[in-house]
Amino acid sequence: MKHFETKAIRNQTERTQYKEHSTPTFFTSSFVFDDAEHMRAMFAGEAEGNIYSRYSNPSTTELVDKVCAMEGAEAGFTTASGMSAIFTSIIAFLQQGDHVIASRAVFGSTHQILNNILPRWGITFTYVDPMDVNSWEQAVQSNTKMLLLETPSNPGLCLIDLEKAGAFAKAHNLIFNVDNCFATPYLQRPIDFGADIVVHSATKWMDGQGRVLGGLIVGREALMPQIQTFIRHSGPAMSPFNAWIISKSLETLAVRMDRHCSNALQLADFLNDHSDINTVLYPHHPSHPQYQLGKRQMSQGGGIVTFEVKGGVERGTQFIDQIKMLSISSNLGDARSIITHPASTTHSKLSEAERAAVGITPGLIRVSVGLEHIEDIIKDLDQALAASRVSQGVAIGASI
Ligand SMILES: *Cc1c(COP(=O)(O)O)cnc(C)c1O
């Protein structure tokens, strides 16, 4: 079997009559049929091909095939954003009366789906502790249908033992659904641990340059008809342009992630040794409470580092205000390093107690480590730490 890097580059499935070398883009909302019989057969699902770009388009198909090859999945679909992938991957399978077990440490908008949208359709959920799979037994109900996880989690970088989670899902006959956005298939492949479905925000590392939104749902072939019905008729289709951008970006995913990860590890080392920092979290740094698990199920630690500056929220805010090069933005997974404050942005809709339960302390800062030279990234953070120390009147020694 070909290696990951080779699949990412050589998986091109579409080539037109012009025999172009790079992947073409198919800007068309619909497709033509040879004759009435062909049209009938296409709609009946008896002939292969494209009908309408809400259903499929060669550009999105090309991207799906590539991500399936990367994740070890049988089939999949693209969606307009990561959130539409997550929503589709839940709603396509569940109905009134069903129950979901979800990690407490999921993306902010995933919390919103669970808390505010699904209950209106009579679908309930129970949060479980991501770091203690053994405690999940208590959450199982006779109507539990799905296990929904995210690892590493955004932004708390909690890790979930995928091997144990896979065994748990199997034992209770649950659809095992994993948001693999932070790791990407280059660092972690949940299907190897028994995941039935893997969802992605392709907006992040997959695109890698902060240009387009996109989502993917890949997994077992047997689960695809329900997803197909939902997508075809509710319409969260990805633009062929975005599919082309993301597919092009995936050709360089491995080399980009290698650098993001090595930069992130060096940044984690720097912060860990810095006297102004309370805690640093990075899955492949020995200081991470789940370091052994991180080493076991992820080939590298990913491109996100989170930390807490001494001096609480006030100092944290001043620190961000002193940043000169890094972008102050809520996105992540970009060539440009990005700094954000999750408690006031991505996870602001949660209560403080809910945030605390998943490690999002008020002063937590998330850095998406980019592809700039690591010395320049460290220098910017270092000068911002120094400048915020001065503006605080050197009230450091005291912990928050
Ligand atoms: C950003 C993100 C999402 C949402 O993706 P969008 O493309 O912004 O809709 C979902 N899960 C995780 C882990 C994310 O970081």
Band the pLDDT of 400: cuts 50, 70, 90. Answer: very low
Question: Do residues 260 and 303 lie in contact, with contact meaning Cβ atoms separated by under 8 Å?
Answer: yes
Q: Which domain holds residue 101?
A: 4-250
Given this model, what pLDDT does residue 356 score? 84
Residue 60, Ramachandran bin (φ over 0: left; ψ between -120 and 50: alpha; else beta): alpha
**Structural tokens at position 110:** 């995933």
Residue 314 lies in a domain: yes
Q: What is the pLDDT of residues 209-229, one digit of tens each?
A: 999 999 999 999 999 999 999
Is the bond leading into 155 cis (omega within 30 degrees of zero)?
yes
Which residue, of 235, 250, 265, is where some domain finishes?
250
Given this model, what pLDDT does residue 380 score? 98
Which residue, of 224, 250, 276, is where some domain finishes?
250
Closest C-alpha among 83, 16, 84 to residue 54: 84
Res 397 pLDDT > 70: no
Res 398 pLDDT > 70: no
Residues 260, 352: one domain? yes
Higher pLDDT, 62 or 316: 62
Residues 274, 177: one domain? no
Cα-to-centroid distance, 180 and ligand 1 (Å) = 10
Question: Do residues 65 and 13 lie in contact, with contact meaning Cβ atoms separated by under 8 Å?
Answer: yes
Return the residue whose CA atom lies nearest to atom 8 of ligand 1.
82
Residues 166, 277: one domain? no
Q: What is the pLDDT of residues 97-115, one digit of tens each?
A: 999 999 999 999 999 999 9
Q: What is the pLDDT of residues 30-61, one digit of tens each?
A: 999 999 999 999 999 999 999 999 999 999 99
Least confident residue range of 14-28, 212-226, 267-281: 14-28
Residues 264, 240: one domain? no
Which residue, of 250, 267, 289, is where some domain finishes?
250
CATH number of the CATH domain containing 297: 3.90.1150.10
Closest C-alpha among 154, 150, 56 to residue 103: 150
DSSP state of 238: P
Q: What is the pLDDT of residues 173-185, one digit of tens each?
A: 999 999 999 999 9
Residues 226, 269: one domain? no
User: What is the rounded CA–CA span in Å between residue 175 and residue 222?
Assistant: 12
According to DSSP, the residues that pair with 279 across neighbouring strands are 308
According to DSSP, the residues that pair with 177 across neighbouring strands are 148, 197
150 touches ligand 1 (CB under 6 Å): yes
Share of the chain above pLDDT 90, in %: 85
Residues 242, 257: one domain? no
Share of the chain above pLDDT 70, in %: 97
Residues 279, 157: one domain? no
Residues 320, 374: one domain? yes
Given this model, what pLDDT does residue 326 score? 98
Cα-to-centroid distance, 391 and ligand 1 (Å) = 35
Given this model, what pLDDT does residue 342 score? 85
Question: Do residues 364 and 343 lie in contact, with contact meaning Cβ atoms separated by under 8 Å?
Answer: yes
- Which atom from ligand 1 is nearest to the alpha carbon of 181? 13
Cα-to-centroid distance, 266 and ligand 1 (Å) = 25
Kind and range of the H or E run holding 124: strand 124-128
3-class SS of residue 144: strand
According to DSSP, the residues that pair with 175 across neighbouring strands are 146
Question: How many residues comprise the chain?
Answer: 400
Residue entry with tokens 């660092």 = 187
Res 14 pLDDT > 80: no
Cα-to-centroid distance, 201 and ligand 1 (Å) = 5
389 touches ligand 1 (CB under 6 Å): no
Residue 399 lies in a domain: no
Residue 48 exposed, middle or buried by CB count within 10 Å (0-12, 13-18, 19+): exposed
User: What is the rounded CA–CA span in Å between residue 367 and residue 378?
Assistant: 11
Cα-to-centroid distance, 331 and ligand 1 (Å) = 9
216 touches ligand 1 (CB under 6 Å): no
Residues 15, 104: one domain? yes
Residue 144 lies in a domain: yes
Res 170 pLDDT > 60: yes
Residues 246, 339: one domain? no
Given this model, what pLDDT does residue 16 score? 87
CATH number of the CATH domain containing 196: 3.40.640.10
Q: What is the pTM of this model?
A: 0.95
Res 350 pLDDT > 90: no
Residue 397 lies in a domain: no
Pocket probe mutation, ligand 1, options 104, 179, 204, max atoms within 8 Å of Cβ: 204
- Which atom from ligand 1 is nearest to the alpha carbon of 202? 7
151 touches ligand 1 (CB under 6 Å): no
3-class SS of residue 231: helix
Residue 396 lies in a domain: no
107 touches ligand 1 (CB under 6 Å): yes
Residue 332 lies in a domain: yes
Band the pLDDT of 392: cuts 50, 70, 90. Answer: low
In degrees rounded to 5, what are phi and psi of residue 148?
Answer: -115, 115
Residue 134 lies in a domain: yes
Residue 398 lies in a domain: no
3-class SS of residue 20: coil
Given this model, what pLDDT does residue 399 score? 41
**Structural tokens at position 266:** 């060096």
Residues 106, 227: one domain? yes
Residue 119: CB partners within 8 Å, gap ≥ 6? none
Res 272 pLDDT > 90: yes
Per the structure, the count of domains in the chain is 2
Given this model, what pLDDT does residue 325 score? 98
Pocket probe mutation, ligand 1, options 154, 158, 217, max atoms within 8 Å of Cβ: 154
Residues 220, 312: one domain? no
Give me the sign of the Cα torsion angle 119, 122, 128, 130: negative
